[in-house]
Amino acid sequence: MKTIKLGLLGLGTVGGGTLKILQENADILSQRVPARFEVKRIAVRDLNKPRTVDTGGIALTDQPFTVVNDPEIDVVVELMGGTTLARELVLSAIDNGKHIVTANKALLAEHGEEVFAAAERKGVQVAYEAAVAGGIPIIKALREGLAANRIDWLAGIINGTGNYILTELKQPGADFATVLKNAQALGYAEADPTFDVEGIDAAHKLTILASLAFGIPLQFDKVYTEGISAISADDMRFAAMLGYEIKHLGLAKRTDAGVSLRVHPTLVPKSVLLAQVSGVMNAVMTHGDQVGPTLYYGPGAGAGPTASAVVADLVDVARTMDCKAHAQVPMLGLGNRQNLTVLGMDEVRCACYLRFLAKDVPGVLAKFSGVLAQAGISVEHMHQEPCDDESGDALVVLITDEVTEAAMNRAISKLESLDEIDGAVQRIRIETLN
């Protein structure tokens, strides 16, 4: 039986999980691919750190370039994260003729064009199932399972931290700061939660999914990104009253004018399965022209789920590493890249939820409706309720019809200039996903 020698860059949560699966499921893996995996070298930051997995017989090093330059290693598994050293190591490994398995969504979203081009020139593979949605095989679904379809759109809950926070905000008396602190205490959020709560992590993942779905280049810089820190318990309550759930979605849509790439809080009808995904779970919904809507659900992070995807990639690489390039599934799904325009956010059309504080006086709602009407925006629903204080203000919620982002921005600016409105207007976009 052939032996495939592996070099791991990183032995943290995912690296440890990967090594554990390779050790515990060696017999199962040998039944699925006619080869034996052998971990030859592992690069770690601290050689003296206690390990939770057995590293006996494996050379540990704090010099990662010794891994990518080892002539005996066939596949480099990059699990260290980051976009600087990781990029150098991956490109060096490719230049040395080694296949790559990576869980690094930031690396691929920001430098993927360079990485995949280098791999194509050298005739090696870059496998990256673990880079998006952990244990959910959404990369394989888009590359292979949905190959017969023209993908119209996809929408994903692709950051478990954000989904956990929004789920907890539905609890009576919840506020964002407290929920975030609890998420950090539970290990769901980092000490610096910016990448999660501001949507950067989801934008990295959406960049990859959109490239697969539409055949477009990886264009992280063109993803509109908005976080969830402005979402309040009032928003969660009003959304539920109106028949919606608020989800922090990554959305990629194809239109006649081009494709939109965006990450932002979104009102989703409760009847849509994606709206029912709670806690730290991930889910991706796609719509193909032949199959219609499909949903992929599961754990999006953690040692077991993410390492499961890493090892699945190793199996795929082992099965095809001796095949000619024309016999392999293209790394980004389509052999020929599509030159589709990525729309600016001002061109995107969607219905909107607006919430604001207003003076509770006669005729004020008609004035708000008039401002929107002048902007060509129809109001589909309006709700007003007094605040639980002595301010004399009322909470006002409006649901508008579908409108361009540019028109809504102008209308919001006019609303905020009114004396009758106190503070900013909260806007959450609405997607029916049908």
Sign of CA dihedral 176, 182, 187, 192: positive
Q: At 56, list the tokens.
A: 């006996």
* pLDDT of amino acid 389: 74
- Does residue 205 have an active-site annotation? yes
DSSP one-letter string for 67-105 = HHT-TT--EEEE-S--SSHHHHHHHHHHHTT-EEEE--H
Whether residue 71 is predicted with pLDDT greater than 70 in this model: the reply is: yes
pTM of the predicted model as reported, rounded to 2 decimal places: 0.95
Amino acid making up residue 222? K
- Give me the pLDDT at residue 354, please: 97
Q: Encoding tokens for residue 263?
A: 């990450």
Which residue ranges form the domains of the chain, and what is each CATH number? 2-127 (3.40.50.720), 143-298 (3.30.360.10), 348-430 (3.30.70.260)
Q: Convert the pLDDT of each residue in 101-138 to its tens digit.
A: 999 999 999 999 999 999 999 999 999 999 999 999 99
What does the pLDDT look like over 337-381, one tens digit per residue? 778 999 999 999 999 999 999 988 888 888 898 999 999 999 999
For residue range 388-418, list pLDDT tens digits in order.
777 778 999 999 999 999 999 999 999 999 9
Contacts of 197 (CB under 8 A, 6+ apart): 161, 162, 165, 180, 189, 227, 228, 229
How does the average pLDDT of the chain come out, rounded?
94
From the candidates 105, 205, 222, 247, which is the catalytic residue?
A: 205
Q: Which residues of 72-101 are buried (b: 16+ CB within 10 A; e: fewer)?
A: ebbbbbbbbbeeeebbebbbbbbeeebbbb
Taking 80 as the threshold, does the pLDDT of residue 30 lie above it?
yes
Three-point CA angle 312, 314, 317, nearest 5°: 115
- Quick check: 335 pLDDT over 70? no
- The pLDDT-based confidence of 27 (bands split at 50, 70, 90) is very high
**Using one digit for the tens of pLDDT, what is the confidence trace for 176-201?**
999 999 999 998 999 999 999 999 99
Q: CA–CA separation, 164 vs 79, rounded Å?
A: 24
